[in-house]
Amino acid sequence: MKQGEQTKLSIIKAANKLFYQQGFHKTAFSDIVKEVGLSKGNITYHFKSKDDILTAVIEHRVERTKQILTTWDQDYANADTRLLCFIDSLIDGKSALTRYGCPNGTLASELGKSNELTRQLSHRVFDLIRQWLSTQFLALGYSSEQANDRALDLFTRGQGICVLAQVYNDEDIFELQVNHLKALVSEKINS
Amino acid sequence: MKQGEQTKLSIIKAANKLFYQQGFHKTAFSDIVKEVGLSKGNITYHFKSKDDILTAVIEHRVERTKQILTTWDQDYANADTRLLCFIDSLIDGKSALTRYGCPNGTLASELGKSNELTRQLSHRVFDLIRQWLSTQFLALGYSSEQANDRALDLFTRGQGICVLAQVYNDEDIFELQVNHLKALVSEKINS
DNA sequence: TCAATATTAGTACTATTGTACTAATATGTA
DNA sequence: TACATATTAGTACAATAGTACTAATATTGA
């Protein structure tokens, strides 16, 4: 990897962390500069504006999400195992999810209010996950329409749990509610 | 009502609107000044800081929420009617909820990341609604624990729906999913 | 009434915002 | 090697942030 690409990546990672932990608007350009540990001029060389960094961060999240979903596809043969894997990943991340909410959900909530472009970008991460969930339910024997419903339902509840857990800053609520989601996966078809 | 109280209220209402539609950090002090239509000095006379306005806005939301819940309690005798009323209110507000998300959820998501005080304030609005929902389920015959579960579940899903609908900017997703919630209310006990 | 207080407007101020620009250095290539 | 380009650092800048301050006007109560 070329030197510049390396730097670009470290900028994206630093910004990604800050946008998640502080929100986009709360995060100043200088915060990113400080977090990366390079000069201001260096950052603006690689990204001419804060919005450019945001776009790159979302692109990065899209790629990272694709990567994770692909890994699960490769590592697990059964759809129900994969779905449980998705749910377990929520529990694994409960500390951050409870503290800062869902990275994609909170960013979309913040940006969706005023910025149509970034709403659409966030939208892409959501589509990836929804699509993947739907595919798993399809493999479990649900009809196409039912699978979409299940996926949307599971996703919706996951987002809701993140919001509630963050508001109450309560990991127990988070874990308890997420465990309820497991029932959705193992439920009998056509219930 | 004294003149000053009137002004204070108009400031709160303007800020409330902007915090909802743009988010807290995106909303500048000057935005509020413009929205209220009074001088900058006048605003700082009534609220010495932007954070003070925020606190007042949340207090206002708490009072407004109490008021609405009380009205429902007075107007409807049956708990299931009240719960349907709650759900219908979501559908009534679907346009704004889809465009800007849930006022309380999105504000809490934004502020909960960095500001512990306002997280706790948002927390209060959530408690009011959760408590009320729980009371209704209790009246329907659920046990105390079950009622709490139901309330949390209903609330969680409502929040999740708002996030998804906003991300997709899709009122149909919103209405469809909210209608699913009605099943939660009319479901048989102990299912 | 008049004095005290409440309210409003307008301006000033410092700090910080995001971005632009220049100069220096590193890297790669012919 | 020498040249061109990529990368980095440092500084400068106009614009805006939030708040403080003063003066003018309204309102109130004795």
B180 touches chain A (CB under 8 A): yes
A75's tokens: 């590592």
Q: Which CATH superfamily is B1-48 part of? A: Homeodomain-like (1.10.10.60)
So what's the pLDDT on residue A186? 82
Question: Which residue in the set A23, A26, A156 is minimally distant from B164, CB to CB?
Answer: A156
Q: Do A126 and B164 count as a contact with CB atoms less than 8 A apart?
A: yes
Q: What's the whole-number mean pLDDT along residues B115-132?
A: 89
Q: Is the CB of residue A6 less than 8 Å from the CB of residue A41?
A: no
Q: Which residue of B has its CA nearest to A174?
A: B156
Nucleotide nearest to B3 (CA to C1'): C7
Domain spans, chain A: 1-48, 57-186
H helix runs in A76-170, sequence order: 79-92, 94-100, 103-112, 116-139, 144-168
| CATH number for the segment(s) B56-186 | 1.10.357.10
Quote the CA–CA distance of A37 and A32 in Å, as a whole number: 8
pLDDT(A62) > 70:
yes
So what's the pLDDT on residue B71? 98
A57-186 adopts what CATH topology?
A: Tetracycline Repressor; domain 2 (1.10.357)
A169 touches chain B (CB under 8 A): yes
Give me the residue label for tokens 């998705």: A86
Is A57-186 in the same CATH topology as A1-48?
no
Nucleotide nearest to B53 (CA to C1'): D18
Q: How much is the mean pLDDT over chain B?
A: 94
Q: Do B177 and A126 count as a contact with CB atoms less than 8 A apart?
A: no
pLDDT(B187) > 80:
no
Other CB atoms within 10 Å distance of the CB of residue B160: 27
Residues B9-45 as b or e (16 or more Cβ within 10 Å = b) = eebbebbbbbbbebbbbbbeeeebbebbebeeeebee
Residue scoring higher pLDDT (B120 or B13): B13
So what's the pLDDT on residue A1? 60
pLDDT in tens, B8-36: 999 999 999 999 999 999 999 999 999 99
Q: What is the distance in angstroms measured between the alpha-carbon CA of B33 and the sugar C1' of C13?
A: 19
- Using pLDDT thresholds of 50, 70 and 90, give the confidence band for residue B118: confident
B45's tokens: 């006379």
So what's the pLDDT on residue A66? 98
Query: Helix B79-92 to helix B171-186 angle, to the nearest 10 degrees?
Result: 180
- Using pLDDT thresholds of 50, 70 and 90, give the confidence band for residue A53: very high
Q: Which residues on chain A are in Cβ contact (under 8 Å) with B163?
A: 105, 108-109, 156, 159-160, 163
So what's the pLDDT on residue A127? 95
B28's tokens: 């500048």
What is the percent of chain B where pLDDT is above 70?
Answer: 97
A98 touches chain B (CB under 8 A): no
Q: Tell me the three state secondary structure of residue A127.
A: helix
Question: Which protein residue lies nearest to nucleotide D10, measured between its Cα and the C1' atom?
Answer: A41
